[in-house]
Structure 1
Amino acid sequence: MVRAQRDGAGPEALRAATGRTHEEWRALLTDAGALDWDHGRIAAHLVEEHGVDGWWAQGITVDFEQACQGRLPGQRADGTFAVSRTRTLPGERLDALATLVAAVAGEVGEPARSNLQARTPVVRWRLPDDSRLAATALAPTRSGTPVNLTWEKIPDAAAMAAATARLEAMLGRALAS
């Protein structure tokens, strides 16, 4: 299940980083008229008017949208949904990513594009239903390389559970290989 934004960073962490809690940011944004603003305008307001770091501004914006504008957990600003899962695979970064890519390609076909030289190497697929998959390899740890699969452009909340199950299956195949 996808968690609500408020269940991520706790109030102490948010206050330490931004000077306010979730409730205080919601009240401030409501008073500023943000109930009628889109995602980009809210985030820009937080950065430009309140000096909030961009990463925290995104989280505050999503929390506000979920609490005050009806945005559902897992829902993106464009109205579609996304799910993501991460597992640690053995091996170096590009080897772990190649293992994951092979597992995904076995189910959905060859990727549309990749950028293996990026700071976070990524491989992407466009699926026939217009949804998208992205596989990334994070910085290696002592136990291996965390790899992430994200399924984006899921049309509705009801389809998220099936997408999550498919991500888990693809990651399971990668772990087994």
Structure 2
Amino acid sequence: MGGAAHSIETATGHSWREWTEWLEGQGASTLTHSELARLALARIRQLEIERHAVTGKPLNDGWWAQTIAIDYEHDHGLREVGQGHLGTFAASASKTLHAPLDETLRAWLDVMQGIDAVDGVPFAEAPSTTATEKWRYWRVSLADGTRAQVDISSKAVPEGASAKSVVSVQHSKLNSAEDIPPRKMAWKELLARLEDFTKE
């Protein structure tokens, strides 16, 4: 059982075996991704799963339905690891820093200052940044048709502890699984530079 399946069990309170057996009973192996996700969503609502089984927080049922569909497809050879629901692939990487959101965003902008390509692929346009109360975003499209997004969020810490932020990179629309390792390595190298721009 993969990490996604384990997280599905933790979130829904139902074992991955239960999910798999139920989906197979509905003919899941013959369904498209969209049909499979809709089926999973209907089941979540049928079971009245409205909150995360461990944290008690409201459950984003649409997101978990997509996760269930993708993991089922991985398990049954309907999708390669790293392949998204549109048939393309994505590389991801993340890093946790001892810094609040805005300081982390400034550090990321400092890291990317003067950089106009990743893994030898140039940016198709200037990167953009946006912000919400709880998130900071950095996005860029590349010349090969791929797209990268950096999400910065606060990490929960004990009361009185210094702030921490999580920087997550998602490089999407890759053409094949072979594209994932070099892109992942390139982003990890950039993430590693963040330490030089933030204080402990």
TM-score, structure 2 normalization: 0.73
Aligned to 1:172: 192
Aligned to 1:129: 144
Aligned to 2:90: 82
Q: In angstroms, what is the RMSD of aligned CA positions? A: 2.5
Given candidates 69, 72, 81, the residue that maps to 2:80 is 72
Runs of 4+ in 1 over 6 A off after TM superposition: none
Q: Please state if 1:115 is matched with 2:130.
A: yes
1:67–1:94 Cα change, 3 Å:
same
For 2:22 and 2:179, locate their aligned partners in 1 and report how far apart those are by CA, in whole Å: 34
Aligned to 1:56: 64
Asked whether the 8 Å contact 2:5–2:16 carries over to 1, the reply is no
Aligned to 1:138: 153
Aligned to 2:33: 39
Aligned to 2:58: none
TM-score, structure 1 normalization: 0.81
1:31–1:121 Cα change, 3 Å:
same
Aligned to 2:23: 29
Q: Please state if 1:102 is matched with 2:110.
A: yes
Which protein is richer in helix relative to its size?
1
SS of the residue 2:114 aligns to: helix
Asked whether the 8 Å contact 1:88–1:143 carries over to 2, the reply is no
> How much identity, in percent, do the aligned residues show?
25
For 1:50 and 1:117, locate their aligned partners in 2 and report how far apart those are by CA, in whole Å: 29
For 2:135 and 2:183, locate their aligned partners in 1 and report how far apart those are by CA, in whole Å: 23
For 2:153 and 2:38, locate their aligned partners in 1 and report how far apart those are by CA, in whole Å: 28
1:157–1:123 Cα change, 3 Å:
same
5+ unaligned residues in a row in structure 2: which ranges? Answer: 50-60, 117-122
The alpha-carbon deviation at position 85 of structure 1 amounts to: 1.5
SS of the residue 2:135 aligns to: coil
